[in-house]
């Protein structure tokens, strides 16, 4: 890379008064759209071999005329590594180091924003491993072709070490308008945490938008350099428009388009032929363009801190809804699996070493499941083939997470000290970073006549037997389970304890000390009375209520029944064939303000979107939600929100962990486990409905006609688990996130089979001093626990916070690292903790070493 920078510098000196045009050669990857996996494997190998040879053959030419190649995903390198000799792979690494081949941090051209934040980061883990092992500089990251751009990516990218990005859209299969009128074509893409990347996003040639037959140039698209000679002329036209582009450096990137394979040696020839006294044309590795541009204009550029929408083609995640939901569940389950893994690995350093191959594939699956060709309308791959591939990728993630979770929970049970009296005991583990009181379900097939003892207080706790998916569990109320740690409970058989609580259920009504809820036979909640605030939470809109698939007050279905009832919780079940075959379960708890809703759709669905509606009793609603890496207000910038005033898609927004609708005095947080998208009121593609207090949660469907998987690929089972809680006062991000994480990360329980590595009663590995700072991930370093514990935290406050991380033992040393575990920046540790500062709205990753 030093050699590249030197040549760039010399080039600048030699052509000091010339305007510069960078043309970049790539082969845009439409993975499993233009060909199947085998074809792409062979294409990657052949293409890299071709350009490694071509790059070498031009290496002695002036820098501007040396050939360079730009991969658009790290999966190219992974494929080469797995299929070529070590010598050949080292040759590739050498060219990447020299700047002859560029590799971005992303695995493929992936659609993030609706995807969980942690999936976005894990997608870049292979690139992180390359950086650590080979010392590579990889400052580029891409999000291409889809017409919109979510805001949270800027923070996740910058926090992972990215510095630069470029966007080229398709301007096809789109409902987004205004792509030809972009104001800022070079700008700092800045997150809510003030981290930023330098973005190139040119306005689309108007001729493409109007579909004029005479257009020949592709500026603003993902194939700007499809015809490199025309691209040079395009760049000249761009720089002549000094009002909209006041810069003397421009770039046209993207050659391959939708072609399976791109092999050409013409770029150096064209660069030489098109260079004259006024313009220097440079064959670009893309990074050279950004470095040159940043040096000359970086301190003069505007910045943008708003979202252009979650995704457009990614709406089709909902066209294979249950498979997509399984990926979302696995990313969430990973939080507990890795926290358990951390405790185990501290005592058993070789634990899970047999899962390395599964882990590597899982991290790729975190990105590749969201590969951008969800439109599934390609000319070579059928929708069925695409659906089968999506299932395969999902299974790679799901199998790793399930395996790690089950093995870690079992192994921890072998490390916790066993009860001396021989009674059956189990631990209850809290994967979150604050002390919790919540229910825990322990898989149990024994006698129901038991008393459960909290081994810390030596007091009995409420318990009951419940059935979940034909399995018997012992449900207990576990109080004050420590952060990132466990409590132990003992089962004493043939004893009973009587408990008083405010739980009741009769007919179609369910009640606890916080709420009185009425539902129909179709699972629609028609009344939710908040006892604490003496307020009805539901105000119907166009005959829609809560958890409403479209039934309203209709009451056709099986008789409502009580599924489980005891001192911890009570559950009502409603089943109906209308408007589609489905079952809804509503659960209330003693001493817990959470209302849990389990929704099951049990029939195949056609293309029409299926939604659960929630109509709230709020006069002036304001909606907030989690987009990956950011908490956004669902309103345009002009009205005080976080969404662009143009070139934006506003009908379906990311829901991720939660949505919150509230005013200054009262509101409701809605936790969401499975769904990817929601709609506020009757919002359209181009306008927010900011007056209707209604949230529609998308369960399944094809949003845009003709795009996505047809009829859910035959699936006839869909889960959508939700939870809700009213709150007084206005929206508070940390409160909403804590509520949602507690719902979606239940306490983990497992039998203790005996050991001596961990104490008999309770244990906490880490705690965090400020309630606005939440641990987002806790795991051993990618190379193993000997390389440290990785902790990722999110400051959900809109202000900088001084806080402390306290360990069970002394923290010997610590450093800030990128989210992909590179670039250590040491931090001073105290005697018993780590006191540090985290910026507003920031996600920060640390590496910690314990005594």
User: Which parts of the chain sit beneath pLDDT 50?
Assistant: 1-11, 13-15, 213-215
Please report the sign of the dihedral spanned by the C-alpha atoms of residue 81, residue 140, residue 288, residue 22. positive
Q: What are the residues facing 246 on neighbouring strands?
A: none
pLDDT of residue 7: 47
Task: Determine contact, residues 666/228, Cβ cutoff 8 Å.
Answer: no
* Domain over 425-497+747-751 is classified CATH 3.40.50.720: no
Percent of the chain residues topping a pLDDT of 90: 92
Please report the sign of the dihedral spanned by the C-alpha atoms of residue 394, residue 397, residue 401, residue 404. positive
Question: What is the CATH number assigned to the segment(s) 2-10+20-305?
Answer: 3.20.110.10
Q: What are the residues facing 190 on neighbouring strands?
A: 196
Closest CA to 497 of 543, 447, 461, 469: 461
Structure tokens at 697: 């949660």
pLDDT of residue 211: 60
Task: Determine contact, residues 590/672, Cβ cutoff 8 Å.
Answer: no
Q: For residue 682, is the peptide bond before it cis, meaning its omega torsion is within 30 degrees of 0?
A: no
Locate CATH 2.60.40.1180 in the chain.
Answer: 425-497+747-751
Please state, in angstroms and rounded to a whole number, the distance separating the CA atoms of residues 517 and 501: 17
What is the average pLDDT value for the chain, to the nearest integer?
Answer: 95
360, containing H or E segment: helix 356-368
* Domain over 765-851 is classified CATH 3.40.50.1370: no
CA 474 to chain centre: 33
Residues with Cβ within 8 Å of 441's Cβ and at least 6 positions away in sequence, in order, are: 466, 468, 473, 474, 475, 746, 749
The answer for 764, left when phi > 0, alpha when psi is -120 to 50, beta otherwise, is: beta
pLDDT of residue 10: 43
Q: What is the 3-state secondary structure (H, E, C) of 389-429?
A: HHHHHHHHHHHHHHHHHHHHHHHHHHHECCCCCCCCEEEEE
Report how many helices (DSSP H) and strands (DSSP E) the chain contains, helices first: 15, 45
Q: What is the dihedral of CA 638, 643, 645, 647, to 10 degrees?
A: 170
CA 684 to chain centre: 24
Residues with Cβ within 8 Å of 204's Cβ and at least 6 positions away in sequence, in order, are: 169, 171, 179, 180, 182, 219, 220, 221
Please state, in angstroms and rounded to a whole number, the distance separating the CA atoms of residues 6 and 11: 9
What is the DSSP pairing of strand 748-751 with strand 425-430? Answer: antiparallel
Q: What is the CA radius of gyration of the chain?
A: 28
Task: Determine contact, residues 814/847, Cβ cutoff 8 Å.
Answer: yes
pLDDT of residue 210: 61
pLDDT of residue 15: 44
Locate CATH 2.60.40.2220 in the chain.
Answer: 765-851
Task: Please write the tens of the pLDDT for every residue from 477-500.
Answer: 999 999 999 999 999 998 878 888
CA 678 to chain centre: 16
CA 294 to chain centre: 29
pLDDT of residue 296: 98
Structure tokens at 369: 């499941």
pTM, two decimals, is 0.96
Place domain 510-744 in its CATH homologous superfamily. Answer: Golgi alpha-mannosidase II; domain 4 (2.70.98.30)
pLDDT of residue 469: 87
Structure tokens at 157: 């990218």
CA 405 to chain centre: 20
What 3-state class would DSSP assign to 476? strand
Locate CATH 2.70.98.30 in the chain.
Answer: 510-744
Locate CATH 3.20.110.10 in the chain.
Answer: 2-10+20-305
The set of long-range contacts for 463-472, using a CB threshold of 8 Å and a minimum separation of 24, is: 463/566, 463/567, 463/568, 464/564, 464/565, 464/566, 464/567, 464/568, 464/569, 465/566, 466/441, 466/563, 466/564, 466/566, 466/569, 466/571, 467/563, 467/564, 468/441, 471/443, 472/443, 472/444, 472/445
Please state, in angstroms and rounded to a whole number, the distance separating the CA atoms of residues 359 and 778: 16
The answer for 256, left when phi > 0, alpha when psi is -120 to 50, beta otherwise, is: alpha
């Amino acid at each position: 890379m030093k050699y590249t920078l030197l040549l760039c510098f010399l080039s600048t000196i030699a052509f000091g008064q010339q305007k510069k045009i960078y043309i970049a050669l790539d082969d845009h990857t439409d993975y499993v759209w233009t060909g199947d996996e085998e074809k792409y494997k062979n294409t990657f190998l052949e293409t890299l071999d071709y350009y490694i040879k071509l790059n070498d053959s031009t290496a002695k030419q002036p820098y501007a005329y040396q050939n360079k190649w730009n991969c658009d995903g790290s999966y190219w390198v992974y494929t080469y590594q797995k299929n070529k000799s070590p010598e050949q792979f080292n040759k590739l690494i050498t060219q990447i180091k020299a700047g002859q081949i560029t590799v971005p941090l992303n695995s493929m051209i992936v659609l993030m924003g609706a995807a969980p934040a942690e999936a976005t980061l894990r997608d870049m883990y292979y690139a992180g491993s390359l950086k650590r092992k080979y010392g590579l500089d990889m400052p580029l990251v891409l999000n291409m072709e889809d017409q919109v751009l979510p805001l949270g990516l800027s923070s996740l990218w910058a926090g992972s070490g990215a510095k630069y990005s470029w966007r080229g859209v398709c301007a096809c299969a789109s409902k987004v308008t205004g792509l030809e009128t972009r104001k800022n074509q070079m700008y700092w893409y800045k997150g809510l945490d003030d981290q930023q990347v330098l973005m190139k996003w040119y306005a689309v040639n108007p001729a493409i938008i109007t579909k004029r037959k005479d257009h020949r140039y592709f500026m603003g698209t993902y194939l700007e350099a499809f015809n490199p000679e025309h691209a040079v002329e395009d760049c000249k036209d761009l720089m002549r428009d000094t009002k909209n582009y006041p810069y003397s450096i421009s770039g046209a990137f993207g050659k391959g388009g939708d072609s399976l394979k791109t092999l050409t040696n013409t770029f150096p020839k064209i660069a030489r032929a098109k260079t004259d006294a006024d313009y220097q044309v440079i064959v670009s590795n893309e990074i050279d363009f950004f470095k040159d541009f940043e040096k000359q204009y970086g301190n003069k550029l505007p910045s943008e801190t708003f979202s252009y929408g979650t995704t457009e083609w990614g709406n089709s995640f909902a066209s294979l809804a249950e498979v997509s939901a399984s990926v979302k569940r696995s990313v969430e389950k990973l939080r507990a699996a890795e926290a358990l893994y951390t405790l185990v690995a501290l005592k058993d350093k070789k634990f899970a070493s047999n899962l390395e191959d599964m882990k590597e594939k899982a991290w790729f699956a975190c990105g590749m499941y969201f590969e951008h060709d969800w439109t599934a309308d390609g000319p070579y791959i059928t929708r069925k083939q695409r659906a089968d591939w999506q299932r395969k990728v999902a299974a790679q993630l799901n199998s790793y997470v399930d395996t790690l979770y089950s093995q870690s929970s079992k192994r921890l049970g072998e490390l916790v000290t066993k009860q001396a009296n021989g009674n059956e005991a189990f631990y209850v583990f809290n994967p979150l970073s604050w002390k919790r009181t919540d229910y825990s379900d322990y898989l149990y097939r024994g006698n129901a006549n038991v008393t459960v003892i909290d081994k810390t207080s030596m007091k009995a706790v409420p318990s009951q037997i419940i059935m979940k998916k034909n399995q018997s569990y012992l449900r207990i109320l576990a109080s004050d389970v420590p952060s990132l740690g466990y409590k132990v409970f003992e089962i004493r058989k043939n004893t009973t304890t009587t408990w008083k609580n405010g739980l009741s259920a009769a007919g179609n009504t369910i009640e606890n000390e916080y709420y009185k809820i009425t539902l129909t036979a179709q699972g629609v909640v028609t009344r939710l009375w908040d006892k604490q605030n003496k307020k009805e939470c539901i105000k119907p809109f166009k005959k829609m209520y809560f958890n409403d698939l479209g039934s309203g007050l209709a009451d056709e279905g099986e008789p409502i029944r009580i599924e489980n009832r005891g001192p911890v919780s009570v559950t009502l079940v409603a089943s109906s064939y209308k408007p589609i075959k489905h079952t809804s379960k509503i659960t209330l708890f003693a001493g817990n303000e959470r209302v849990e809703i389990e929704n099951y759709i049990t029939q195949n669905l056609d293309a029409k979107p299926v939604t659960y509606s929630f109509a709230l009793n709020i006069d002036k609603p304001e909606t907030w939600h989690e987009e990956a890496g950011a908490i956004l207000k669902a309103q345009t910038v002009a009205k005080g929100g976080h969404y662009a005033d143009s070139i934006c898609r506003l009908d379906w927004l990311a829901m991720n962990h939660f949505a919150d609708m509230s005013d200054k005095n009262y509101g409701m947080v809605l936790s969401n486990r499975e769904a990817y998208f929601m709609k506020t009121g009757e919002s359209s593609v181009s306008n927010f409905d900011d007056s209707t207090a209604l949230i529609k949660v998308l369960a399944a469907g094809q949003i845009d006609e003709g795009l996505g998987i047809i009829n859910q690929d035959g699936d006839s089972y869909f889960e959508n688990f939700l939870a809700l809680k009213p709150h007084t006062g206005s929206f508070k991000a940390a409160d909403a996130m804590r509520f949602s994480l507690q719902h979606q990360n239940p306490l983990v329980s497992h039998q203790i089979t005996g050991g001596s590595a961990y104490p008999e009663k309770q244990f906490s590995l880490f705690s965090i001093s400020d309630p606005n700072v939440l641990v987002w991930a806790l795991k051993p370093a990618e190379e193993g626990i000997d390389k440290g514990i990785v902790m990722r935290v999110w400051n959900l406050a809109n202000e900088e916070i001084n806080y402390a991380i306290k360990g069970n033992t002394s923290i010997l040393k610590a450093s800030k690292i990128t989210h992909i575990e590179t670039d250590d920046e040491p931090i001073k540790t105290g005697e018993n903790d780590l006191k540090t500062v985290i910026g507003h709205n920031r996600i920060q990753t640390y590496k910690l070493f314990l005594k």
